[in-house]
Structures are given as C-alpha cells and as structure tokens.
Structure 1
Amino acid sequence: MNTNIAEFIPEDFDASSRVWIYQSSRLFSMGEAFELESMMNKFLQSWNTHGTPVKGYANLLYGQFVILMADESATYVSGCSTDSSVRLIKEIEEKFNVTMFDRQMLAFVIKDKIQLLPLQQIPYAVQNNFITPGTLYFNNLVATKADLLSKWLVPVKDSWLAKKFKLEAEV
C-alpha cells in the first residue's frame, strides 16, 4: 500500500489549511467513487463563506476516506460553510448507505489492507498481536494540511492509542 499521500494533496494550499477527514464504514466501489467525485466537485464549485468562494479541495483517498480541505489563508471558513460541508457528507451517507461519522470505528493498515476495528475491541486486538506498536493507524483527528501530510497515517506507537492501551515501542 502506497502511504505517500503528498502527491494527492494540492501544493498551493497553505500548511495551516483546515482539514476534515470522514471515514466510510466500507470501501466505495469504483462506480461509487466516480459518483462521489462528481458530488465533491459540484460541492467545491458552490462552497462559499459569506458569499466569497472557499479555496477548497476534496478527494477520496484509499477508497474509504473523504478528505475536505479549506485554505483559510485565502478565505476564513465560517460556521455556515462548515455546515454545508457536513450536509455533503450526510448526503454521501444517504446516497451510498455508509456511515461517515462513527468516531468509535478506527482504521488500521493490516496485511497491506485497511481494516476497521471498533474502539472497544482494541485491547483484544493488542493482546492477540493483531495490532502492534508498528501497525499503521489512520489518525482522522488531524486538523491541518501539515498534520495530514505528517500525522495522519502513523504507527500506533506514535498515536494517542499507545498511551491509552499501554503499547510499548517494538525493540
């Protein structure tokens, strides 16, 4: 699995650009991905904040994560414009029968595939070595472009999970 996402992220967006990551409860099919791309492009064309167009970006990464980004060095994103992006995600949920707001479902790269695991099952997965300190984890709480590029896909040992579940670094 190629973990270098920089090639998919616009270079002309400020490092402090705001990022929202929505994880789907399943992979989107190729046909759904094309429909999703059309929905995101339509949204970006009309994404405004107080009548001013938002310098925005949207993409589906790894077939399962919708990434929205707004370059606030160009235009500040207001509550109303954030609400409109949430409406887009809810529309995606309804159209494709997926869940995009479940923060209790965590994503990992296991055997070169994205695997979802409920938060409450993490202790079992750690105890049985399904998840190790070196397992890659999708930290969907990153908030900026800089963090998306450097802290989104990280080893579990470098995430909040390490402290919560007492995962020690591999020797």
Structure 2
Amino acid sequence: MNWNYQSMLPEDFAPDSRVWIYQSSRLFAMSEALQIEDLLNDFVSHWKSHGTPVKGFGTLLFGQFIVLMADENATGVSGCSTDSSVRLIKQIEELYKVQLFDRQLLAFQVKEKVQLLPLPQLQHAVDNNFITPDTLYFNNLVQTKEELENKWMVPVKDSWLTRRIAIKA
C-alpha cells in the first residue's frame, strides 16, 4: 500500500487549518468508498459558517479514515458548522453500519495493512510482539494540517500510548 497520504492533501490550505479524523471500525468496500467520497465532496462544497462558505476539504484515506479539514484563515468555523460536519459523520455511520466515534479502537500499520486493536488489548499486543515500539500508530488526535502531515502516522514510542503500556527492555 502507498502510505504517502501527504500528496493527497490540498497544498493551498494553511498549516494551521483545522483537521478532524474519523476512523471507521472497518475497511470500506470500494463502492462504499466512492459513495463516501461523493458525500464528502458534496458536504464541503456546501459547508458554511454563519452563511459564509468554509474553505473545506474532505477525503477518505486508506479506505478507513475520513478526514475533514477547514482553512480558518479563509473563514472561521463556528459551532454550528462543526455540528453540521458531525451530522454528516453520523449519517455515514448509519448508512454504512460502522462506528466512527470509537476512540477506544486504535489503528496501526502492521504488515502493510491498517490493523485495528481495542485499547484494552494493547498491552497484550505489546507483550506478544504484535505491536512494537516502532510500529506505526495512527494518531487521530492531530488537530491541524501540519500535524496531519507530520504527526498522524508515528511510531508507538513517540505517541501518547507509551503512558498506557509497559515496553520490555
């Protein structure tokens, strides 16, 4: 799999553009992915904040991560416009019978695939070398375009997960 997602992000958005990442509880089928891309494109083309168009971007990365981005240098994103994006994500959850708000489900790059792991099983996965300190973790807590580009896929040892696990020396 080509992990170079940075080339798929818009170049004309400011580094401090706000980012929201929603991780699906499963990989979307190709037909679903195409439909979701259409939903995202339609949403961002009509996204408004207090009546003013939002400079927005939406995409599906690796068939499993919905990324929404708003360049607030163009238009600030209000609570109402954020709420509208959350409604879209909830609509996608219902349409495709997936979970997109489960922050207890972690994603890792293992054997060239996105692998999901419930947080309570993390230590067991580390103890059995399924997850190592160098395994890439999808840090869906990134908040800006710059963080998305540089801190989204990070080794476990460089993430907040180190506070949750004991790594053998």
Q: Is TM more than 0.5 here?
A: yes
Which residue does the alignment assign to 2:53? 53
The offset of 1:6, in angstroms, is 1.3
Q: Is the 8 A contact 2:123 2:166 kept in 1?
A: no
Q: Is the 8 A contact 1:56 1:68 kept in 2?
A: yes
Alignment of 1:88-127 (within 5 A): 88-127=88-127
Q: SS of the counterpart of 1:100?
A: coil
Alignment of 1:1-171 (within 5 A): 1-167=1-167
Q: Which amino acid aligns with 1:128?
A: N
The offset of 1:166, in angstroms, is 3.2
The offset of 1:34, in angstroms, is 1.0
CA distance in structure 2 between the aligned counterparts of 1:167 and 1:7, rounded to whole angstroms: 34
The offset of 1:37, in angstroms, is 1.1
* Structure 1 unaligned residues grouped into runs of 5+: none
Number of matched residues? 169
Q: Which amino acid aligns with 2:140?
A: N
Q: Which amino acid aligns with 1:143?
A: Q
* Structure 2 unaligned residues grouped into runs of 5+: none
Q: SS of the counterpart of 1:35?
A: helix
CA distance in structure 2 between the aligned counterparts of 1:131 and 1:6, rounded to whole angstroms: 24
Q: Which amino acid aligns with 1:131?
A: I
CA distance in structure 2 between the aligned counterparts of 1:84 and 1:132, rounded to whole angstroms: 38
Q: SS of the counterpart of 2:137?
A: strand
The offset of 1:5, in angstroms, is 1.4
Per-residue CA deviation, residues 88-123 of structure 1 (Å, 9 max, x unaligned), is: 000000001111000000000111111100000001
Per-residue CA deviation, residues 47-106 of structure 1 (Å, 9 max, x unaligned), is: 000000000000000000000000001110000000000000000000011110000000
TM-score (structure 1 length as normaliser): 0.96
Q: Is the 8 A contact 2:22 2:101 kept in 1?
A: yes
Per-residue CA deviation, residues 122-165 of structure 1 (Å, 9 max, x unaligned), is: 01001111000010100000000000000000110110112321
Q: SS of the counterpart of 2:101?
A: coil
Q: Is the 8 A contact 2:49 2:78 kept in 1?
A: yes
CA distance in structure 2 between the aligned counterparts of 1:161 and 1:167, rounded to whole angstroms: 11
Instruction: Give aligned-pair identity as a percent.
Output: 63
TM-score (structure 2 length as normaliser): 0.97
Could you list the runs of 4 or more consecutive aligned residues of structure 1 that deviate by over 3 angstroms after TM superposition? none
Name the Cα RMSD after superposition.
1.1
